[in-house]
């Protein structure tokens, strides 16, 4: 059989060069038969959200970069330098994050679960505590967050397996696995981040005018609408401060009904202010005060301000705290409101723990503790009511602050407590002999839990970071419309940073598309080149010495026949 095959091969060789062509094109034919991986496996496109990047008072915060084009690794890898380090939230720790930065990682991508509410509470609390440290730490490399899907989890698991294999005992095993493993090149589509010039922070104000003379006392009700977290596009701020805005809108609805009828029209002006830039040292409130106190002669803030009530984080818990910069003096309307709060809670809501928290203003700190301090600096009597006892509570500034963390029943109860106490002050009910357990907002005038719930759903369904909301945004137009349903003279108020010495600077490229391309490591190309060179070398030698090779095969075949 070999003799016949040799004769056929010799005749074909003399007639054409087919054997040589056949030998040369075998690798190409095999590659075509194997084919490339499907498109879904070769590349995956997903949305990523970049960590905060801003400057406040000349101090930079967050990441400094946005461009990413590097190979993926997980923290299990021995070498992370110039690699994109992927982490899952459930396995995330600040030590791992610092390890990646210390080893000069090229980028960090943190994978979040689809439903934040499904994350264990200990993981949520741990990450809430880490967020401020991540922002305070100088970070040169880009840091992104991505919401997991099946393809992204598959990429993570494959990358993790490849990273873990680097710790094998045998160098040959490491070399073999490195050559055969699949890698992923992570590439962002956007450009490098740059400062946003002339960004406006909008706020909305409206009023209910009291009945009586011109010099009526004014009660100011304030809540900031913006949210904050380590990534702006993931900051939904349900409790902080969606709950505060929800209470403000419900108070506007209740008192607009009282002010509709002359019999219940009180002798107080009510000024409502939904401020912007609250998470950036209350920039909206600061400029609003400057414009009303320094740059105009006709303002309710200049005449007779009874007190300023700031609403902040009121959506859960069984406690309420009145935060003050200076304890109110007896005989003032501030003290009257404090007394009414204590009375309403003690007589109608005994399950609620109430206290007054006194903290002096520390101007040496970069950030004020509470919004009422902006008013106190301008010598306006003010306080903040919140279920949080400390301004340093991590729940105020976290991407974990989602709708599931707001208890609608607690929010409704807190709204009613504030409304009852405020009404007793405005109408002077205690001095008129009204009993402490008198329930004012009942029947047709009751606090509507369904309304609060729908407003909370609307607020927490979208990110409300100050960098994302401009004067023409849908959110702001809707907020202005809601306030316009109950209040008069509703209008926007804008803040723009000074060009020469800006108090705040925002940066773009906060949301991008990232592509994960399946790639082989460089050593795979090297080994493939060596194999191809060896194959072609053997083929070349066989063709050049085909006669000798053919005679050797003939002799072997003859020996086989003789045996």
The domain of 549 spans 526-562
Domain harbouring 67, CATH code? 3.50.30
**Whether residue 515 is found in the same domain as residue 553:** no
**Would you put residue 198 in left (φ > 0), alpha (ψ -120 to 50) or beta?**
left
**Whether residue 455 is found in the same domain as residue 474:** yes
Q: Is residue 346 part of a domain?
A: yes
**Residue 172's pLDDT band (boundaries 50, 70, 90)?**
low
Beta-bridge partners for 309 = 221, 383
Higher pLDDT, 65 or 525: 65
**Whether residue 256 is found in the same domain as residue 163:** no
**Whether residue 154 is found in the same domain as residue 61:** yes
**Whether residue 83 is found in the same domain as residue 138:** yes
Strand 218-224 to strand 488-496: parallel, antiparallel, or no bridges (unpaired)?
Answer: unpaired
Q: Is residue 336 part of a domain?
A: yes
255 pLDDT exceeds 70? Answer: yes
Q: Is residue 7 part of a domain?
A: no
Q: What's the pLDDT tens digit per position in 536-563?
A: 888 777 777 777 777 777 777 777 766 6
In whole angstroms, how far apart are CA 488 and each of 147, 205, 446, 464, 480? Answer: 42, 9, 22, 25, 11
**Whether residue 210 is found in the same domain as residue 189:** no
**Whether residue 107 is found in the same domain as residue 214:** no
* Side-by-side strand order, sheet with 200-208: 353-358, 319-324, 382-386, 305-311, 218-224, 269-275, 200-208, 488-496
Q: What's the pLDDT tens digit per position in 78-121?
A: 889 999 999 999 989 999 999 999 999 999 999 999 988 888 89
The predicted structure's pLDDT at residue 423: 97
Give how many domains the chain has, as a whole number.
3
Domain harbouring 462, CATH code? 3.40.630
36 pLDDT exceeds 80? Answer: no
The predicted structure's pLDDT at residue 374: 97
Q: Is residue 169 part of a domain?
A: yes
Q: What's the pLDDT tens digit per position in 414-441?
A: 999 999 999 999 999 999 999 989 999 9
**Whether residue 298 is found in the same domain as residue 176:** no
The predicted structure's pLDDT at residue 177: 57
Q: Is residue 269 part of a domain?
A: yes
8 pLDDT exceeds 90? Answer: no
Q: Is residue 26 part of a domain?
A: no
**Whether residue 179 is found in the same domain as residue 318:** no
Q: What's the pLDDT tens digit per position in 300-352?
A: 898 789 999 999 999 999 999 999 999 999 999 999 999 999 999 999 999 99
* Helices 522-544 & 546-562 angle (0-180, nearest 10): 70
The one-character DSSP state at 209 is P
Q: What's the pLDDT tens digit per position in 229-240?
A: 999 999 999 999
Strand 84-88 to strand 382-386: parallel, antiparallel, or no bridges (unpaired)?
Answer: unpaired
The predicted structure's pLDDT at residue 38: 44
> What are the residues whose beta carbons fall under 8 Å from the beta carbon of 497, sequence distance 6 or more?
199, 503, 504, 505
* Residue corresponding to tokens 């910069």: 325
Q: What's the pLDDT tens digit per position in 54-69?
A: 999 889 999 999 999 9
The predicted structure's pLDDT at residue 303: 77
**Whether residue 141 is found in the same domain as residue 55:** yes
The one-character DSSP state at 271 is E
The predicted structure's pLDDT at residue 129: 93
13 pLDDT exceeds 60? Answer: no
The predicted structure's pLDDT at residue 401: 95
Q: Is residue 300 part of a domain?
A: yes
Q: Is residue 24 part of a domain?
A: no
Count how many residues are written for the chain.
Answer: 563
pTM: 0.86
Average pLDDT over all residues of the chain: 88
Q: What's the pLDDT tens digit per position in 381-417?
A: 999 999 999 999 999 999 999 999 999 999 999 999 9
Taking alpha carbons only, the member of 282, 248, 267, 168 closest to residue 456 is 248
**Whether residue 358 is found in the same domain as residue 456:** yes
**Residue 15's pLDDT band (boundaries 50, 70, 90)?**
very low
Average pLDDT (518-535) is: 75
**Whether residue 162 is found in the same domain as residue 251:** no
């Amino acid at each position: 059989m070999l003799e016949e095959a040799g004769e056929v091969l010799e005749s074909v060789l003399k007639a054409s060069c087919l054997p040589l062509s056949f030998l040369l094109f075998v690798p190409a034919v095999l590659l075509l038969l194997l084919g490339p991986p499907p498109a879904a496996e070769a590349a995956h496109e997903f949305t990523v959200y970049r960590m905060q990047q801003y400057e406040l008072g000349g101090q930079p915060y967050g990441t400094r970069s946005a461009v990413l084009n590097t190979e993926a690794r997980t923290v299990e890898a021995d070498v992370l330098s110039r690699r994109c380090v992927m982490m899952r939230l459930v396995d995330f720790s600040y030590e791992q994050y610092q390890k990646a930065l210390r080893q000069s990682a090229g980028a960090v991508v943190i994978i979040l679960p689809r439903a934040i509410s499904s994350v264990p509470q200990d993981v949520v609390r741990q990450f809430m505590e880490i967020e401020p440290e991540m922002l305070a730490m100088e970070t040169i490399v880009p840091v992104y967050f991505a919401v997991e899907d099946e393809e992204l989890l598959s990429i993570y698991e494959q990358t993790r397996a490849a990273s873990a294999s680097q710790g094998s005992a045998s160098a040959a095993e490491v070399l073999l696995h490195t050559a055969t493993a699949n890698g992923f090149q992570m590439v962002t589509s956007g450009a490098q981040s740059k400062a946003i010039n002339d960004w406006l922070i909008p706020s909305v104000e409206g009023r209910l005018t009291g009945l009586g003379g011109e010099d009526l006392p004014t009660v100011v009700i304030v809540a900031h609408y913006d949210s904050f977290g380590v990534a702006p596009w993931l900051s939904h701020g349900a409790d902080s401060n969606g709950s505060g805005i929800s209470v403000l809108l419900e108070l506007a609805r209740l008192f607009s009904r009282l002010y509709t009828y002359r019999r219940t029209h009180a002798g107080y002006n009510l000024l409502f202010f939904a401020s912007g830039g609250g998470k950036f040292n209350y920039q909206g409130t600061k400029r609003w005060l400057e414009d009303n106190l320094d740059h105009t002669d006709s303002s309710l803030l200049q005449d007779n301000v009874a007190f300023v009530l700031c609403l902040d984080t009121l959506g859960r818990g069984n406690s309420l705290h009145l935060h003050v910069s200076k304890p109110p003096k007896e005989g003032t309307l501030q003290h009257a409101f404090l007394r009414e709060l204590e009375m309403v809670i003690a007589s109608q809501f005994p399950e609620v723990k109430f206290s007054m928290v006194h903290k002096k203003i520390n101007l040496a700190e970069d950030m004020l503790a509470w919004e009422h301090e902006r008013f106190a600096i301008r010598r306006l009597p003010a306080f903040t009511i919140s279920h949080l006892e400390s301004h340093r509570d991590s729940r105020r500034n976290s991407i974990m602050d989602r709708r599931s963390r707001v208890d609608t029943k607690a929010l409704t109860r807190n709204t009613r407590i504030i409304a009852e106490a405020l009404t007793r002050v405005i109408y002077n009910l205690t001095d008129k002999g009204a009993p402490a357990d008198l329930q004012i907002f009942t029947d047709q005038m009751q606090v509507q839990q369904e309304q609060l719930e729908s407003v909370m759903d609307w607020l927490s369904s979208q990110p409300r970071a100050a960098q994302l909301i401009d004067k023409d945004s849908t959110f702001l137009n809707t907020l202005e419309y809601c306030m316009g349903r109950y209040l008069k003279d509703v209008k926007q108020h804008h803040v723009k940073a000074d060009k020469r010495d800006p108090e705040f600077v925002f940066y773009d490229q906060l949301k991008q598309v990232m592509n994960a391309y399946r790639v082989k490591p460089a050593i795979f190309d090297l080994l493939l080149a060596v194999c191809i060179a060896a194959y072609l070398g053997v083929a070349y030698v066989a063709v050049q010495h085909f006669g000798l090779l053919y005679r050797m095969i003939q002799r072997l075949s003859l020996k086989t026949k003789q045996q």
